[in-house]
Structure 1
């Protein structure tokens, strides 16, 4: 029974071992999944070298442990199979044991029967006694043999059971010993890395604690800081690699009946204005083509900081978070519109060159060639004759075909693209062969040129050791140089206070009679600053301000008497703005460009001289090119002096028809009245200047036509454009034709 019970326990142990092996398989499967998760986490942390390398090393070692564990389970399975085979042999021995026991029990009974028969044999019957004795002896011999066999089977069974149990358990324990020894060796190799990471972890904890304290200090600083002007930083980049020129959050007014406002993520990309409701949502296109739209401020609605993008088919009302952001978005849209036109022009130029080269015999090719030659003769060839203009101003590339009109320089196509990315407040780019050039703008381009501008903007380049880019240099190097040159103005020569005083004094004391200017009258004509006409009652009525310009016939073009001018020529405000002020009057475009390079405000006002601006002084200086230069550099065409007179007033008073035409084309307000309630038109009528009267009345009619035709009307008809073009041509190329006066 004991042996049978032990056999049953062995069978139960085998089943438990099978269950343990199955659980080990599940454990290894879960471990592999865990290791795979560690490896995936390491891959997603590729930017962090410490985490990526540590997790990869840990995953590798844990995978080794799983492999060891798998091998151990395989050994246990093999041992279990052998044990099962041995179990079959033990059961066979157990059957022999049972057979031997049956024989033992049978012989024991026979022995008992022989003993009983021997005891019952009568003493007087000798043959019965001998027979019983012989049977007892034989039975005892048989019993001994059977007992030996029975004991042998018992000993064999016990020996095999003991050896199998010990052998199996010993193998199991050795397998565990090997597994844990391998694990110990494996993790012993990993221990230096773990110690290193422990040190790094301690440092991370310290850094985190420090960062938390710093953040708490920042929180306390935030409580005291003024965030009224804390706007999001927006950058306009026309050459962004992802094609997104500008992006950020704006409120958009819905087109439904409720006119609700929703916050959306807007971006300018691929010549389109688009927005997204959420980051991963599809883009909704607001404007298909920016060249077909315009942008304007909206001050007539309840919300602040609003602007509107208008296209021929629809309009979109948007709201920025601040005035600064609104201006940034408006400027970005305007720049994108300009860039879209320039890119279109570049493509057209490439197509023109390709067409003229490959299909010169075709009619279309002939038209392209004719148009190209015409453009070169009207703009390109004239500009190229100026010193330094035959090569790019910034990199030296020969035969440039682009220009910066506010800087009056020529550029290659690569540098022109970089100039466009600076923004129109730094550089306004135009094609020399594809764009239409106004006469006054072409005249301006011929006044300065690459040589003059480089003399100003590269004065200290060699002193500072800066290398000028060469054709074929990488774009990022050229871009860095151009930004340093025009945005940071790093190479501009800084003048001392004495040098500024001498320059301003020299400019302010120069006498520039109107007879020598492009818009001037003949010297025999009436004084330009003291116009006198006959009134209806026959008296002579002076049209000037009375305090300065009407004091005597000796007044010069500044409106100051000789005595006042001598006192005023001593500069009191030694600023670049004052240099620009007098350079504008002296018609010295290089000095004007130098003043702007030194940071002069183009709309600077001279408080000692009736708050006049450089543009007003350019009018008195009589130079059309000086006025155009200031306008191209963002001078205000409607800024007034103390007498309420803007540049158009002064041009009308002086009879400068070309300048008046220029200001009207740039949107000057012809309805503005000065302190004497005189408008430019009333001044021109009293002065009997038929040309300026005609221009003012045409401009007024054109404005009324636009207002009557609605928001999307074009700016005037062909007659208006032709007349203004004729006046511009005469003012720039043949000013004597405008020097005519009428008495009534």
Structure 2
């Protein structure tokens, strides 16, 4: 309501003027209270709105996170993203609304209160002050006595000045009142109208936004109806499947596990198995195994990368395992390791074994052509040594081994099935094998056959030389001696089951070895005399060499040895044409251990292989010759290849004679550097002492053999280094390995380079 004060009444200072002032002042005071309250409420509203925007923005971010989480569902991701974008627009509109509210209500009304009402209050104070002064002047003027002319004039002058000032200030006060009364209407209406227009813009923007979103929401609603129907249908199907599976579970747990070679996801079979750890504790752990991509893998957790047990199922075999306490166990044997597994039942074990065997056959069928192409690509005939993923150096070594080994008679085809171009070998038997037969050989165990690749593995020189000393023809004359007599046909390529049975009978049961063949033809009485004479010759030779290092002996590792009684050319002569030049092999029906013992000295690898086929103990000790072993005899014979053959067939490198001397002692005494290097690589104990308290190093130092001293000291330093660094079982320093590799190369390929010790000793 507009309230004004008359200027005329102001000059009269009438009671009506005073009453009007009182009414206006009360109204302005109440207006100030209402405006202050409204501004405070506006501030609260704005702060609450901003908090709402913050919470709304967090909610919108949650919707976006849910959309990203649902990236595999296009409908959910698209709709949530679209809704979050719309909500973000609404948050922006809210922010604009609150900014407009702050300018229109808070800022504008607060400015009216602070500016206009403040001026009103200041004018009121001045008016009240001058009013009081006027009243005092009137009272004083009335109290002056007539006879006091001086006081009368003074009071009259004060009253006149006071009235004049009152009129001026009163008129200003009235003017301020009338202006305030007129302005407050416009200020209040202006701020509220601006506030309402801000809301109008907000809701209009929201309406436009959701008008555009409306068709999409309508389509989504229709799609949602279909999703509800589909969800109900899926629910019924899942309930039916749940009922079926529940009945299946009640019938048998074993029925859950089936294998499918043609599975679309490539997983032939999967399930839980117990796996025995390869550590010293042999603990059993339950892991999730699967056969996929021609590999056997397992996982501890689903997110873990699968651990590969077998890289290529073609290179492995599987068999039952009944020699341990746990039930339902089977073993998967690969080229590098053996994995012991346990199923939950016998039916599951049979299923896993069948699945592995079927996968092996499938791998051969699918990858046969590919493997053949890769083999041809890596063979020397292609003329390219840079193909494949192997390094050039490794391919050179592999191709060299393949070419050299396949040149040996009979090695151009598999020893067991006759398949052409074999790329694998059994290093302890000295034969070549096709990839399928090599997998079967691995299943026999390393005590029967140790398999290596002729193209993928790096070959040590002494091992390669061993392969070239034997061959398929030599070994088959021993292990297949009775095949034709028994009317047995060798298996053909691709007949895996027939191959398994044949190879097991050939090498494990040794059914085809002719144990009636006489090894030589001299009577037993002569045998004892010959043994005695041979023993005496060797003892004299060792004793003489220990006192006089200048004696020359001829050997294949760079040392001159005791006179050989079997010529190198006689190794591959037919039995009927070979000259019987050995005084040690002139006996009949020898004990296989004694045959191996004598053949080891004579460097006769075919006879050694024959003795092992007849059941000779590779660590047989001759009680008539200080309990010397075949390995010690090989040292005395001076042949590096003979030593390697015995070691590959399980000879104990640390077995000693009655004088406490092992192979390393004897090789050191004789100055056989290549043999010393070989024994150290094969784990010989160089700290062992003989009955005189001498270890190999002290013997080498006394003999002033610089090469052997160097090898022994390097081996000792490498051993101490590995122990100090905790590298047990590790190969050790690279320098150590390089030096031993160089000595092995010289001993096998250039033995004359190791003759420095004898040549130097002859000068003195």
TM (norm. structure 1) is: 0.49
Question: Structure 2-normalised TM-score?
Answer: 0.47
